[in-house]
Structure 1
Amino acid sequence: MIEEHLRRLLADHWSALEAERVSEARRLRVAELTVVSDRGPLAAAVDHEGNRHLLVPVPTHAKVRTGLDGPVLRLRKRPLEDEDTYQHYVDLTCLRNDLHDLFTELCADVLGEVERASAHPVRALYEVLDRWKALFLARAAPLGAEQLAGLFGELTLLGRLLASDPSAHRIWRGPSGHRHDFSTDVTAVEVKSSTAAQGRRPRVHGLDQLEPPEGGTLCLAWFRLRRTGANGPGTAFPELVDRARRLCDDEYLLLTLLAAAGYRPSDADLYRDVRFQVIEERWYRVDAGFPSLTGRALVAAGVPVPVLDVEYTVDLSGQIPPALSADDTSRVIDRMIKE
């Protein structure tokens, strides 16, 4: 339960600021709050249009998530300067005066979370926003067996990337409809997973999925998974998700990607007993020696490609093409992080 004193704290400060006179020099009237983070005190503010603001101090170099830009709430980064200080803030603004009461509840929730986690005030803000947003999300159909295996493989690679770079989820492109699961400007990785006990036969979707980025390189990462019982070896699906959430620097963006892939944290109990063990992992460089069917290759061969929805299977069960060595695989991952 949100404590009443936090609601009253906000309401009193906003009311006092609204009563102050507006001038060109004071288009934004600001009052510090008694809730303090490691970066300094949070603040309430009112602008010249009567909109209420909650200001959370952040370092100068901090990035603020995008996507929240009205018509009710707006989130952005803004600097404030007075005679003694120059400080950047994450600015949460309510753009509708008729929703001030609800905005007070939201901001009091933020203050309470910051009091519990003062070292990470912006993360606390994001977590509260995400909780409120979750109230309006419809539950999706559960993921099927193949979808779970495929997403488990992608999250396995994502976890490795995040361990070295907390922003690496920004190159996880598959959930947003990109032709490659992970992609920078010049390096891409397509992840394929299978629970089949024998063979290595990834299914390819489209004539462009195995086309490298223009002027770049593409690798295919193949995982053989074994699904185990609730108490068996391996990793539970929600555990893999939770690890990625802990490692990333923008949980909201990661949750958005997971939702696009069909997974929401509210459905974690549905997958609590789903465990996979990685039995085999092989990486391949998708080059001229790799068996594939692509639009570029067909055009180069003079074959017109007026067809859609092409799917085919590649058989990698033998020793040709050769798999990358562990060192080469590590270099691919390092290169993606550095790019």
Structure 2
Amino acid sequence: MGLRLRRPLRCGDRGGGSDSDRIRGSRLTERPWRDVLDVHWNRLETERPSNARRLRVSDLPVDSAKGNLAAAIDLDGFRHLLVPVDSRQKVRPGLNGPVLLLRRRSLEGIDTFQTYADLACLRADLNDLFTGLCADVLKRAEASTDNPVKALYTELDRWKSLFQAKSGPLGAEQQSGLFAELTVLVRLLERDSGAHRLWTGPEGHRHDFAAGRCAIEVKSSLSSEGRRMRIHGLDQLAPPANGTLQLAWFRLERTSGDGTGLVELAERVARLCEDESALRTRLSQAGYSSADTEAYRNVRFVVSEERWYEVNADFPKLVGNDLRAAGIPIAVSDVHYTIDITNEPPIPLDVQHMNDALSRLIEEPA
């Protein structure tokens, strides 16, 4: 719902040599963004909104291809940073208090209508920290005016990383598993730059990639013999309801010079992705931290074999629904097992069917 505003207060409108005017005219190598924000918010606080549907808004001296960033104060006196976005652009979900609130908001002025990513601080005692975060957003947005919301996401993730416990670099098996998943993700992103949303494994989903009735599970092996894979749980090889599941299996060889580096592959994925911040969040959830880049610098793999399978009734697996249908009661948990597909059947899919599976996943409604 659009919010009708009085004419936004613009710091510097009044005559004379105000602090705002001096900051606005500053051409320092690094703008004092904290001071800029404090001037705008302090002046907005002198005129509180008249009701709960109004904000007091002040354009900031950071212009972008989508409009000016702005400071705002709401009825409760909470501070907001407004970052312009396209009218149909979605705003990243998940940040909903109790300290920070991020949502999509459309504001209507006398002669203007603008949609924003609205970041609000819901605790006045943390205003100083919020100012520091917003100052970093302004600095980054000024350097990259074509996509200001990307600057917002990047800084939110950078600040969040300050409070995340570091678990150390991934082990060899984890590295190979991530490499295989990123290999599939690259192919999806080459088709759709927003396909990072389909990478659901890092968020705890039972399948590595999923959308609607389509899913893909990815497995890797560093062994030079056989085709074995470890399955975790009775639902990992269960297709979505009334849907399909493909299993991608990669045999990887660790190399010292040839092949593709794990860091190189992660950076390629980030370049292909339309929301790099969201992608790096998923990488972090998968255990890959940029702080460990040096530990991964010499990690390189060659894909020596790749097979895709349709996980259908003939594919070897243990699935909860199948056991229940056979009248076998399930009273166990934490089930892990190994399947061996060294010999055929099952018959792997050809390249066309593999590409069809990738395309269906992208086209499937979330």
TM-score by length of 2: 0.87
Counterparts of 1:47 and 1:296, CA distance in 2: 52
In structure 2, the residue matched to 1:104 is: 131
Indicate which of 311, 322, 332 corresponds to 2:347: 322
Q: Which amino acid aligns with 2:360?
A: R
1:220 paired with 2:239, answer no
Query: 1:83 aligned to 110, 115, 130, which one?
Result: 110
Distance 1:214 1:24, change over 3 A: closer
Conserved 8 A contact 1:203-1:313: yes
Contact 2:48 2:75 in 1 (8 A): no
Structure 1's consecutive aligned runs of 4 or more residues displaced over 4 angstroms after TM superposition are none
Task: Give the corresponding residue for 1:17.
Answer: 44
- C-alpha separation between the residues in 2 aligned to 1:48 and 1:288? 59
8 Å contact kept, 1:2–1:109: no
Matched residues in 2 for 1:26 and 1:17: separation?
16
1:30 has 2:57 as partner: yes
Q: Which shifted more, 249-258 or 77-86? A: 249-258
Q: Which residue matches 1:209?
A: 236
The residue type paired with residue 305 of structure 2 is E
Q: Counterpart amino acid of 2:136?
A: D
Separation of aligned partners in 1, 2:52 and 2:282: 42
Letter in 2 for 1:185: G
Question: Structure 1 residue 67 and structure 2 residue 97: aligned?
Answer: no
Q: 1:260 aligns with which of 269, 279, 285?
A: 285
Which of 133, 142, 155 matches 1:115?
Answer: 142
Normalization by structure 1: what TM-score? 0.93
- Superposed CA offset, 1:9-28 (max 9, x none): 22211121112254239831
Hey, what does 1:301 align to over in structure 2?
Answer: 326
Name the CA distance, whole Å, in 2 between partners of 1:46 and 1:171. Answer: 36
- Cα separation, 1, equivalents of 2:340 and 2:266: 30
- Structure 2 segments unaligned to the other structure (5+ residues): 1-27
Q: Which amino acid aligns with 2:108?
A: E
**Are the aligned partners of 1:2 and 1:108 in contact in 2 as well (CA < 8 Å)?**
no
8 Å contact kept, 1:56–1:122: yes
**Counterpart code for 1:64:** V
- Following superposition, the deviation at residue 165 of structure 1 comes to 1.7
User: After superposition, what is the alpha-carbon deviation per residue over 1:197-243, rounded to whole angstroms, capped at 9, x for unaligned?
Assistant: 121111222222222222111111010101111xx111111122122
User: How many residues are paired up?
Assistant: 337
**Which of 308-317 and 284-293 deviates more?**
308-317
Give the 3 Å change call, closer, same or farther, for CA 25–336 of structure 1 in structure 2: closer
For the residue of structure 2 that corresponds to 1:329, the secondary structure is: helix
The percent of aligned pairs where both chains have the same amino acid is 57
For residues 53 and 102 of structure 2, the distance between their equivalents in structure 1, rounded to whole angstroms, comes to: 21
Amino acid at match of 2:180: G
Any residues of structure 2 matched to 1:284-299 within 5 Å, and which? 284-299=309-324
1:172-211 equivalent positions in 2, closer than 5 A: 172-211=199-238
Give the whole-Å Cα distance in 2 for the aligned partners of 1:298 and 1:18.
64
Asked whether 1:160 is paired with 2:187, we answer: yes
Shift, 1:44, TM fit: 1.2
Q: Distance in 1 between matches of 2:318 and 2:51?
A: 64
Deviation at 1:2? 9.2
| Residues 1:316 and 1:12: Cα distance change in structure 2 (over 3 Å) | same
SS in 2 for 1:24: coil
Query: 1:123-167 CA deviation, whole Å, 9 max, x = no partner?
Result: 011111111111112211321111111111111111111221222
Query: How do 1:113-152 residues align onto structure 2 when only pairs under 5 Å count?
Result: 113-152=140-179
Mark the CA change 1:39 to 1:208 in structure 2 (over 3 Å): closer, same or farther. Answer: same
Distance in 1, Cα, partners of 2:31 & 2:67: 23
- How far the C-alpha of 1:54 sits from its partner, in A, is 1.2
**Correspondence list, 1:223-238, <5 A:** 223-229=250-256, 232-238=257-263
- Of the structure 1 ranges 314-323 and 106-115, higher mean CA displacement relative to structure 2 is found in 314-323
For 2:137 and 2:154, the matched residues in 1 are separated by: 9
